[in-house]
Amino acid sequence: MAKSSVVLSFHEILLHESDVELLGGPHWLNDTVISFYFEYLEKVLFKNANEILFVSPEVTQCIKMVQASEISIFLEPLDIDTKKFVFFALNDNNSPDKAGGSHWSLLVFSKTENCFYHFDSSSGSNHDVAWDFASHLMSYWKKGGTINFVDKECLQQNNGYDCGVHVICNTERLATHAQNHQEINSCEMSVKINPNIKRKEILGIIHNLSKSK
């Protein structure tokens, strides 16, 4: 199927009309929309936070599929050794050659706490996916000793399609906390998330960026 026309080219991301339409709801957000927002966080909101890394869903999917000995191929170009907090948007897609999946959750590695924290807006749905991915990465970060894995409570979605918006909101909140406090564990995660407002906010960001080109 032919791609719809390009709405915005933002650093490494091309947003098409079909991607932007997903933000109108009620739709599941795809890899491209989440990658765009991760890029926006890195290049705009947290451009001075050199200790924080937002890994795109595409790179995360590649890491899932390679041998542990090949993980460095994807992480070292991102200056991973200089980062204290690494954010991964995870989905339950196990196919190595196509985007997809049905549920997003957020995995954060905190080097300062030597811990993976998992935030799932449909509690338990992505536990196995997150644990498998964290275990895969532990061999890469094992130089720091034992690494913990913790499923953290967070606000739960009330439908079957807003998981991606929750990942975006949780990422932004946790990154702000990490920047201010240099840890993840104490971040208050019961603050209300309004997915419809966040969708409109992201549409506004896209509109403003496209006008400035």
- Would you state the pLDDT for residue 146? 86
pLDDT digits (tens, 9 = 90+) for 74-103: 999 999 999 999 999 999 877 655 556 789
From 19, 31, 120, 162, the catalytic residue? 120
Residues of the chain with pLDDT under 70: 1-3, 95-100, 143-144, 213
Q: How many helices (H) and strands (E) does the chain have?
A: 7, 7
Task: Based on the residue annotation, tell me whether 120 is a catalytic residue of this protein.
Answer: yes
Task: Based on the residue annotation, tell me whether 207 is a catalytic residue of this protein.
Answer: no
- Would you state the pLDDT for residue 100? 63
- Would you state the pLDDT for residue 99? 57
Residue 112 CB coordination number (10 Å): 14
- Would you state the pLDDT for residue 97? 58
Nearest to 163 by CA among 123, 114, 108: 123
From 103, 118, 166, 177, the catalytic residue? 103
Residue 49 CB coordination number (10 Å): 19
**Topology of domain 28-188, CATH:** Adenoviral Proteinase; Chain (3.40.395)
From 115, 154, 163, 169, the catalytic residue? 163
pLDDT digits (tens, 9 = 90+) for 38-50: 999 999 999 999 9
Task: Based on the residue annotation, tell me whether 163 is a catalytic residue of this protein.
Answer: yes
- Would you state the pLDDT for residue 103? 95
- Would you state the pLDDT for residue 15? 96
Question: CB within 8 A of 131, min separation 6: which ones?
Answer: 118, 149
